[in-house]
Amino acid sequence: GCSPQLSERASAPQRTMCSASFVEETSQHYSPRNVGSIATAPRTLQVVKHVFPLELSSMGSRSVLQEGLYGSTVVEVGAGSEKVTMQNLNDRLASYLEKVRTLEHENSKLELQISEVLEKRGPELHDYSRFEAIVTQLRKETTLSNANLALQVDNSALCIEDFKAKFEHELQIRQSVESDIRDLRKILDDTNVQRLHLENDVEMLTEQLISRKKNHQQDVTELHNQIAQSGVQVDVDAPKGEDLARIMEKMRAKYEKMSLKNQEELKAWHETKIIEVEVQVTENTAALKEAQNQVQEKRRDMQSLEIELQTQARMKASLLGSLEEAQLRCNTEVEQYNVIILQLEAELTELRSSLQKHRQDYSILLNLKGELEAEIETYRRHLDGQE
């Protein structure tokens, strides 16, 4: 910057450049000891102010001081018009002070707006405990849901294992029953074969009995014939002996008795064998029916176990799907809350930065206000001293 120089000996007007702090520098030359020379000497003073840039980023425009105090202005001071010039400068300084008051008013408006924004958005920005409580509650619910689902999955797995064990046990029982049924069928077949053999034996014995009866009858007939023939000769040649007819009758009765006894014994043996076979067949038939009933019951049990096993498998798959869906939904919600928290933190940081800029601008304005008031006070003292 440059200082204004007062040339008391110059006859023509001289021009000098000054900076934004021209009031303070001019006050040094307008000290009480220089007042007399200014009032008596014919001279011209030209003061030129250069632009001193000052930007307020938070307000978005240049300060009003650039158009007033720091604007380029040329003031010509003649030898006979110092009072008028000083009055003009005083008016300008008053207008600058009015602009400062305007800036203070605008600053108070900005502070009011900032306080309103903080009142409206401050609690939401700073109340992280509410989001933390929600996230914590969601995490607890998700953890509890996951634990319940895992418990249900474990229970389903245990039920499936139990059903598998029961199925294997029932399958073993079924195989054992089927093996018993096969053995009983073999026994039944063997019994039927034995019954057929016994029936054949009975038929053979019956045929033998009939044939023996026929042979016996033939023998008796032949014997009668022989006796009859021999009896004639005996009557003639030999003395009279024992009655042959009675002897033959005794023999016939004896043989008939033996034949009847053999027939009764054979019939009793045959009936006994038939009864035994029928008892075995009845027992085997009852065992076969019981085994068939057991097989049918085991089949029904196996079908019910297979159906329940399929149901448990579908339930397990459904629970696993629900678990994955719940985990995905929980992760999505947590990500959304994290994004919201990050956005709120970014807005909070931006608001704090803006507030800091406003504070800096306000501090700069306060400093400028103090400097201007000091310069104006100094300038007024010089004016009062000159008058």
Is the model's pLDDT at 141 over the cut of 70? yes
Is the model's pLDDT at 203 over the cut of 70? yes
Is the model's pLDDT at 234 over the cut of 60? no
- 76 or 5, which is more confident? 76
pLDDT at 4: 35
Report the range out of 117-126, 170-179, 337-346 with the highest average pLDDT: 337-346
pLDDT at 232: 46
Domain boundaries, the chain: 14-126, 130-349
Q: pTM, whole model, 2 decimals?
A: 0.33
Dig out the tokens for 200 from the structure. Answer: 């054949």
pLDDT at 122: 52
Nearest alpha carbon to residue 294 among 208, 176, 205, 384: 176
- 386 or 154, which is more confident? 154
pLDDT digits (tens, 9 = 90+) for 21-63: 333 333 333 333 333 333 333 333 333 333 333 333 333 333 4
Nearest alpha carbon to residue 38 among 90, 80, 92: 80
Instruction: Work out the average pLDDT over 218-222.
Output: 82
pLDDT digits (tens, 9 = 90+) for 331-383: 888 888 889 889 888 888 898 898 899 889 888 988 988 888 888 888 888 88
Which pLDDT band, with edges at 50, 70 and 90, does 7 fall under?
very low
Is the model's pLDDT at 70 over the cut of 50? no
